[in-house]
Structure 1
Amino acid sequence: MKFIIIGGDAAGMSAAMQIVRNSTGNEVITFERGSIYSYGQCGLPYAINGEVKSTEDLIARKPETFEEKYGIRTNTYHEVTKVDCEKKIVFGTNLQTGEAFEESYDRLLIASGASPVLPPWENKDLDGIFSLKTIPDAEAIMEYMNDDTKDVTLIGGGYISLEMAESLVSIGKRVSLIERGDQLAKIFDWDMAALIHTHAEEKGVQLHFGESVEGFEGDTTVETVLTDKGSHETDLVIAAIGVVPNTAFMDGTGVSKSINGAISVNRFMETSIKDIYAAGDCATQYHRIKQRDDHIPLGTHANKQGQIAGLNMIDQPKAFQGIVGTSILKFFDLTLGKTGLSEREAASLHLPYDSVTIESTHAAGYYADSRKDTMTLKLVYNPETLQLLGGQIIGKKGIDKRIDVLATALYHEMTTEQLLDLDLSYAPPYNSVWDPLQQAARKAKRRKA
């Protein structure tokens, strides 16, 4: 069979590798509109401040590796612009030559990813205004930034802005962050986000809430950010207000789309059109707690969905088991972990919910300086059934361990009562006799009683 894959990053190449490793005699062709295959997008902020020594370190495999070692035909700078689903042909443009191309397929995977949102701000084309999604984006920022770049403005309060705030402060830049809402990291409830705000300000990040960017001023390079509340002088701008799935080329095909234009897929990564699959940032993910499709574009999901798509494309059925919405972020001295639903999300879904919040230590209270490394842990649960709905943890140590335990508990639809029954590891340097998760579960139990 002849397989075409649109997109050369996590989902697309995970699928391609499954096809070549688990079948023989097939032709695999990939089209990527950029020049780089299989790289770690999440490492880009750490390349900018030098924590990652080179952007080359973020590349897992180069196109020639896929060609020479695995027999996958790679096409860089090839953008697919149209798909004829009846004739099974993809059409596009070679961005280097301007020439049109077309290629037939037996089965097609759409793994075209997502692109940063850039509103129609006035003068948004001035030099010094960037988004951050690809290695060329990061390299452009690094090339533009020099010793004269003193003030950097971040637009948006999501994870990329938080990571970039830390990255830029660590190399001596003054950082301002503009957010049109009232908090950073909107996946957290406001009471937890307040901890992030305090820490950001302690680290010198200037926060501007309730401001909407309207445009920019400068001769050829950006000098001022204009908002509905005033202006901010700046030497460089990074806009990170969200992404939109790259699915416009499928308009008119009849393929079903869902949240934010993401292509709707079933558990086998099949779209509404026969022999067309989708995976990664351009596709939906089934959320096990919400019990509906969602769109949470993360590399973990892209790799899993890509592998599953590849197997299903060669008739080796495997179902995607869904997500619970787990994420983690390093923000200066804090680790921010979240999984499942926040109170805000539970309310929007009209689910009965309650929550408990505790302060605890990552280790036994009497051990060394554990009191200096406290964590704030919040559990969201159904007060009627005690089923866990989600959790948020912010602190300096031990966050990753707890958020992963909680993610596992959510996957298995556990209750707060069942959290108490878990046999979790204990030694004074690592935990209390009752883990912080269990301490929160006990508080929920007392509340119900």
Structure 2
Amino acid sequence: MKVVVIGCTHAGTAAVVNIKENYPNSEVVIYEKNNNVSFLSCGIALNIGKVIDTTEKLFYSSPEALNCLGAQTKMQHEVLNIDFKNKKLSVKNLLTNEVFEDNYDKLVLTLGSWPIVPKFEGGTLDNIVLCKNYNHALNIIEKSKVAKNVVVIGAGYIGVELAEAFEMQGKNTTLIDAENRIMAKYLDKEFTDIAETEFKNKGVNIVLGQKVQKFEGTNTVEKVITDKGEYNADLVVLCIGFTPNTKLVQGKLETLPNGAIIIDEYMRTSEEDVFAAGDCCVVKYNPAKDTRYIPLATNAVRMGTLVGKNLIKPTLKYMGTQGTSGIKIYNKCIASTGLTEEVAKNTTNYNVGSVTIDENYRPEFMPTFEEAKVKLVFDKDSRKILGGQIISNIDLTQYMNTLSVVIQNEMTIEELAMTDFFFQPHFNKPWSLLNAVALKAL
């Protein structure tokens, strides 16, 4: 059995490892456009902020490691075309420009995603950069050494982490977003207000509700112009969002309008013997009971693993996702899972309810204790839990992993209120924070 894997970051690496483990006699060939694999881009901000001292530490595998498993890693090779009917590929060696054909028995598409780059006037000026891969990371770090005024465009997780990192390095930092709140997809206003205050207290210029119109400068960017103002910049990082990197299969496979490949619960595409996983795919989004495009490394490694389990026959189902995520902004530890109240009201037909508590996470007789803000989002009709958020000065983010399981298993607020959690004064109160917020919902 010959398996060809196109693209090799998180989903691709997980697929290759599991294919070789489950089918050691299979022939596995990897085609990757870049000269590296398995790069954790979520660590770029930590590298810029000097929390991690070298960019190389963000790799968790390598072409050599995959070769040791018995895979053939063909780096800097771009697949130009796929003939699904005849199971053939056209491939270009980017080092020699040689174009050749290859064939497969099973094909794995782990094409990943790419940053959204609108066609701004002045967008080709120097020092306007992206933040996605290893080479981007090196480029940002090099350019930021001399930059004084840094503008980050896009206030999702990557944007806010970069803004913090640049501020920590003493840069005049501006964070711009068209939304009226930072991290609006992940958190409701009572949580983003706290995060925004953290940034403002550190001197970061938060610019919200403004759309970037153009960039100005001679050869290098000097200003960012929005519909409401202008901001000095000698380095601009675009973090507007991501789109599936699926031009290769456009019009050949079933996809969402944005290009995300539609797969079933066994990672199979609309073509026989063709699997897909990771940021190029849709995911089953459990809280809303629909399919959405949610590019996360956690989804990617799960889906890649499932390709390895289901390559020959349907064996292990994809359970879907709650989109669980976490972030640390200065002293604030933040996590969320499922639907926010705002997103639930705007994108679903649920009769949405919510409650929020501000509660010390452990007994007040302890030498120290910290307050946590916890929110629960639920459907008033079915009583099922749809989402949750937490923020505190100490790390209580694992509560959202627990709540992710609660949502996946379609538990109600009554069930969560009475779920058994341990009590130990070092760690919590007799009523867990999740019990307490569910009790308030009752």
TM band (smaller chain) = over 0.9
Matches within 5 A, 1:147-186: 148-186=146-184
Give the distance between the partners of 1:385 and 1:247, measured in 2 at CA.
Answer: 38
- Residue range with higher mean Cα deviation, 159-168 or 412-421: 412-421
Task: Report if the CA contact (8 A) 2:266-2:314 is conserved.
Answer: no
Give the distance between the partners of 2:290 and 2:123, measured in 1 at CA.
Answer: 37
Task: Report if the CA contact (8 A) 1:259-1:284 is conserved.
Answer: no
Matches within 5 A, 1:222-371: 222-253=221-252, 255-258=253-256, 260-315=258-313, 317-347=315-345, 348-370=347-369
Equivalent residue for 1:402? Answer: 399
Give the distance between the partners of 2:177 and 2:103, measured in 1 at CA.
Answer: 46
Task: Report if the CA contact (8 A) 1:326-1:338 is conserved.
Answer: yes
Paired AA for residue 269 in structure 1: M
Q: Deviations over 1:80-113 (max 9, x none)?
A: 2221111111223222222223211111010010
- Say yes or no: does 1:56 pair with 2:53: no
Paired AA for residue 114 in structure 2: S
Equivalent residue for 1:438? Answer: 435
Equivalent residue for 1:129? Answer: 128
Task: Report if the CA contact (8 A) 1:129-1:238 is conserved.
Answer: yes
**Paired residue total:** 440
Q: How high is the sequence identity, in percent, across the aligned residues?
A: 34
Paired AA for residue 135 in structure 2: P
SS at match of 1:201: helix
Report how far residue 39 of structure 1 moved.
Answer: 2.1
Give the distance between the partners of 1:125 and 1:236, measured in 2 at CA.
Answer: 13
Matches within 5 A, 1:30-49: 30-49=30-49
- Say yes or no: does 1:213 pair with 2:208: no
- Point out where structure 1 has 5 or more consecutive residues left out of the alignment: none
TM-score using structure 1 length: 0.95
Give the distance between the partners of 1:76 and 1:413, measured in 2 at CA.
Answer: 44
Report how far residue 349 of structure 1 moved.
Answer: 0.8
Equivalent residue for 1:421? Answer: 418
Q: Deviations over 1:363-404 (max 9, x none)?
A: 22332232xx32211101112232111111122124212111
Paired AA for residue 275 in structure 2: Y
Give the distance between the partners of 1:335 and 1:259, measured in 2 at CA.
Answer: 35
SS at match of 1:339: strand
Report how far residue 259 of structure 1 moved.
Answer: 5.6
Paired AA for residue 383 in structure 1: K
TM-score using structure 2 length: 0.96
Matches within 5 A, 1:92-107: 92-107=91-106
Give the distance between the partners of 1:96 and 1:418, measured in 2 at CA.
Answer: 59
Task: Report if the CA contact (8 A) 1:19-1:314 is conserved.
Answer: no
Task: Report if the CA contact (8 A) 1:23-1:314 is conserved.
Answer: no
Give the distance between the partners of 1:24 and 1:314, measured in 2 at CA.
Answer: 13
Task: Report if the CA contact (8 A) 1:285-1:293 is conserved.
Answer: yes
Task: Report if the CA contact (8 A) 2:22-2:308 is conserved.
Answer: no
Give the distance between the partners of 1:317 and 1:272, measured in 2 at CA.
Answer: 18
Paired AA for residue 204 in structure 1: G
Q: 2:386 aligns with which of 385, 389, 393?
A: 389
- Residue range with higher mean Cα deviation, 308-317 or 243-252: 308-317
Q: Deviations over 1:11-40 (max 9, x none)?
A: 112111111111132210011111111122
Give the distance between the partners of 2:243 and 2:343, measured in 1 at CA.
Answer: 21
Give the distance between the partners of 2:358 and 2:432, measured in 1 at CA.
Answer: 12
* CA root-mean-square deviation: 1.4
Q: Deviations over 1:269-306 (max 9, x none)?
A: 00011111100000111112211111111111100100
- Residue range with higher mean Cα deviation, 88-97 or 235-244: 88-97
Task: Report if the CA contact (8 A) 2:41-2:134 is conserved.
Answer: yes
Give the distance between the partners of 1:404 and 1:303, measured in 2 at CA.
Answer: 17
Paired AA for residue 320 in structure 1: Y
Paired AA for residue 18 in structure 1: N
Task: Report if the CA contact (8 A) 2:250-2:259 is conserved.
Answer: no
Report how far residue 196 of structure 1 moved.
Answer: 1.7
Q: Deviations over 1:44-91 (max 9, x none)?
A: 111122211211111112112211x11101111112222111111122
SS at match of 1:399: coil
SS at match of 1:36: coil
Give the distance between the partners of 1:426 and 1:30, measured in 2 at CA.
Answer: 49
Give the distance between the partners of 2:313 and 2:73, measured in 1 at CA.
Answer: 23
Task: Report if the CA contact (8 A) 1:378-1:393 is conserved.
Answer: yes
Task: Report if the CA contact (8 A) 2:79-2:92 is conserved.
Answer: yes
- Residue range with higher mean Cα deviation, 135-144 or 423-432: 423-432
Paired AA for residue 391 in structure 1: G
Give the distance between the partners of 2:236 and 2:365, measured in 1 at CA.
Answer: 46
Task: Report if the CA contact (8 A) 1:365-1:432 is conserved.
Answer: no
Give the distance between the partners of 1:126 and 1:171, measured in 2 at CA.
Answer: 24
Paired AA for residue 178 in structure 1: I
Query: Where do 4+ consecutive residues of structure 1 move more than 4 Å?
Result: none
SS at match of 1:238: strand
SS at match of 2:372: strand
Paired AA for residue 441 in structure 1: A
SS at match of 1:289: helix
- Point out where structure 2 has 5 or more consecutive residues left out of the alignment: none
